[in-house]
């Protein structure tokens, strides 16, 4: 590349630090399934990154494309007679703006400061260690290491009652670039552990349930998305495939229930949706699986936090023709949960309202780990937002507070069914 030729020159350093320079996000309005298929089939050749896939009639598709493929994609769209608009003219401009605002942040001094920022892996750990030092009933469980040997933690929060209690498991950060998810999980931990407003609902819920929260499942991918010299839009983990130069498996395609790369995943290591060479090939998915199974009789609820789009989804994800036997109950709980929030969430079986994707943690939780009330929560912004994954830190408190309302309603709702 040009970097080799002009090694050490400022231009080289600059361009390697600006990986999304000239990258565009196009909003496309497909009108048929064939058009959608033609476009998703180009993922590999044109190095496309789908930010939003259409799920119902009249929905749109958002796709990031590198400058060298813009022309090719434009031609394809013209051939398909497809309407589109340029949603983001230059992704790098957004990334730079985000980096700049994050750099301006003042040092973390108090515990509460941790709830206001996109934290690093080590900051998340410091936060967790401080919480368990401060709160006698809080417990830290190390659920094992990631590919790059980072320890992964689950924190247990709940008031011991001297009898059996049902438990709710919440995880975040399965996908690296979805930064608002770990930030929301950190806020949940802070609110539940410290209860700064002495909220009677929180006190009550801690007596009814034990909460297990894993704020950062895919720490390797997350750190990769944070490093200014790498890829802010990284989604997968960081494992090396055997026969490819490409890195990473999509952890939410790697779980072992109805695992199938052909159903919304990929068997190509270079794809952003690579399902892995086989089910549970990845330490990150195995860590979650082992934890879920170790708490099997206790766990009644599971929320896996993702972004973005404002969806509160339930199984099944592996097929859009399969319907859970308790579909009505799942929908009622979802309805109750989203009604408690001010944001307008879409609810439904994930393969029916979003897209088919086999190998998700939610399906595994319900089908194999025996957690009856299993949900994938796609946090803000809405699917029509233009900035998707790249969100100002100033949005964290309102999103976390709104989602906490959803969590409370969810917990009460499932309590009625246990």
Residues classed as catalytic: 378
Pick what 289 binds: ligand ARG, Zn ion, none; C-beta below 5 to 8 Å, kind-dependent.
Answer: none
22: left (phi over 0), alpha (psi -120 to 50) or beta: left
Structure tokens at 131: 């919480």
Q: How far apart are CA 264 and CA 260, in angstroms?
A: 8
Fill in the DSSP letter of residue 137. T
Q: Considering only the stretches 130-138, 160-168, 304-312, 361-369, report the one whose residues sit in contact with Zn ion under the rule CB under 5 A.
A: 304-312
Q: How many residues does the chain have?
A: 418
Q: How far is CA 332 from the centre of its chain?
A: 24
Question: Which of 232, 306, 352, 366 contacts Zn ion by CB under 5 A?
Answer: 306
Output 210 or 250, the one with its CB closest to ligand ARG: 250
Q: Are strands 49-52 and 299-309 parallel, antiparallel or unpaired?
A: unpaired
Q: Are strands 373-382 and 299-309 parallel, antiparallel or unpaired?
A: parallel
Pick what 317 binds: ligand ARG, Zn ion, none; C-beta below 5 to 8 Å, kind-dependent.
Answer: ligand ARG
Does 236 contact Zn ion by CB under 5 A? no
Label residue 183 exposed, middle or buried (CB < 10 Å: 0-12, 13-18, 19+).
buried
Output 139 or 326, the one with its CB closest to ligand ARG: 326
Output 116 or 352, the one with its CB closest to ligand ARG: 352
- Which residue reads 């199984």 in tokens? 315
Output 152 or 376, the one with its CB closest to ligand ARG: 376
Output 138 or 351, the one with its CB closest to ligand ARG: 351
Q: Residue 174: name the closest of 317, 335, 28 by CA.
A: 317
End-to-end CA distance of the chain: give it in Å, rounded.
Answer: 60
Pick what 260 binds: Zn ion, ligand ARG, none; C-beta below 5 to 8 Å, kind-dependent.
Answer: none
Question: Which of 175, 253, 289, 352 contacts Zn ion by CB under 5 A?
Answer: 175
For the bound state, the minimum distance from the C-beta of residue 360 to ligand ARG, rounded and expressed in Å, comes to 2
Label residue 296 exposed, middle or buried (CB < 10 Å: 0-12, 13-18, 19+).
exposed
For the bound state, the minimum distance from the C-beta of residue 378 to ligand ARG, rounded and expressed in Å, comes to 6
For the bound state, the minimum distance from the C-beta of residue 382 to Zn ion, rounded and expressed in Å, comes to 15
Does 408 contact Zn ion by CB under 5 A? no
CB of 235 within 8 A of CB of 220? no
For the bound state, the minimum distance from the C-beta of residue 98 to ligand ARG, rounded and expressed in Å, comes to 21
For the bound state, the minimum distance from the C-beta of residue 23 to Zn ion, rounded and expressed in Å, comes to 20
Output 187 or 376, the one with its CB closest to ligand ARG: 376
For the bound state, the minimum distance from the C-beta of residue 252 to Zn ion, rounded and expressed in Å, comes to 6
Q: State the DSSP H helix or E strand holding residue 79, giving kind and residue range, or none if neither.
A: helix 67-79
Q: How far apart are CA 184 and CA 181, in angstroms?
A: 5
Structure tokens at 66: 């590198």
* Contact set with ligand ARG (CB under 6 A): 252, 306, 313, 317, 350, 354, 357, 360, 362-363, 376
Interacting residues with Zn ion (CB under 5 A): 175, 306
């Amino acid at each position: 590349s040009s970097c080799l030729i002009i090694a050490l020159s400022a231009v080289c350093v600059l361009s390697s630090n600006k990986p999304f320079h000239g990258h565009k996000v196009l909003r496309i309005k497909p009108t048929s399934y064939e058009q959608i298929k033609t476009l998703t089939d180009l993922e590999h050749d044109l190095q496309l990154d789908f930010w939003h896939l259409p799920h119902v009639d009249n929905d749109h598709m958002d796709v990031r494309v590198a400058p060298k493929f813009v022309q090719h994609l434009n031609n394809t769209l013209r051939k398909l007679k497809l309407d589109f608009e340029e949603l983001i003219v230059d992704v790098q401009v957004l990334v730079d703006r985000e980096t700049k605002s994050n750099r301006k942040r003042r040092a973390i001094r108090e515990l509460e400061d941790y709830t206001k920022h996109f934290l690093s892996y080590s900051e998340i750990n410091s936060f967790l260690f401080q919480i368990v030092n401060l709160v006698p009933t809080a417990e830290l469980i190390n659920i094992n290491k990631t590919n790059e040997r980072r320890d992964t933690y689950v924190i247990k929060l709940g008031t011991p009652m001297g009898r059996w209690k049902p438990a709710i498991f919440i995880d975040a950060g399965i996908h690296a670039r979805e930064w608002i998810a770990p930030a929301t999980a950190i806020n949940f931990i802070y609110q539940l552990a410290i209860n700064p407003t002495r909220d009677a609902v929180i006190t009550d819920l801690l007596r009814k349930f034990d909460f297990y929260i894993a704020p950062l499942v895919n720490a390797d991918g997350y750190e990769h998305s944070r490093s200014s010299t790498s890829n802010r839009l990284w989604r997968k983990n960081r494992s090396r495939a055997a026969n490819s130069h490409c890195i990473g498996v999509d952890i939410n395609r790697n779980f072992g229930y109805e695992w199938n790369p052909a159903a919304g995943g990929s068997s190509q290591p270079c794809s952003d949706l690579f399902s892995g060479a086989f089910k549970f090939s990845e330490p990150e998915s195995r860590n979650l699986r082992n934890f879920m199974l170790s708490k099997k009789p206790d766990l009644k609820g599971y929320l896996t936090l993702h972004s973005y789009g404002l969806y509160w989804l339930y199984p099944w994800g592996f097929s859009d023709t399969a319907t859970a036997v308790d579909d009505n109950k799942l929908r009622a709980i979802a309805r109750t949960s989203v009604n408690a929030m001010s944001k307008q969430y879409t609810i439904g079986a994930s393969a029916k309202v979003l897209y088919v994707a086999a190998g998700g943690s939610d399906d595994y939780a319900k089908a194999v780990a025996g957690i009856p009330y299993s949900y994938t929560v796609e946090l803000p912004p809405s699917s029509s937002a233009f900035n998707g994954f790249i969100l100002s830190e100033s949005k964290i408190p309102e999103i976390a507070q709104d989602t906490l309302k959803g969590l409370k309603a969810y917990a009460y709702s499932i309590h009625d069914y246990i």
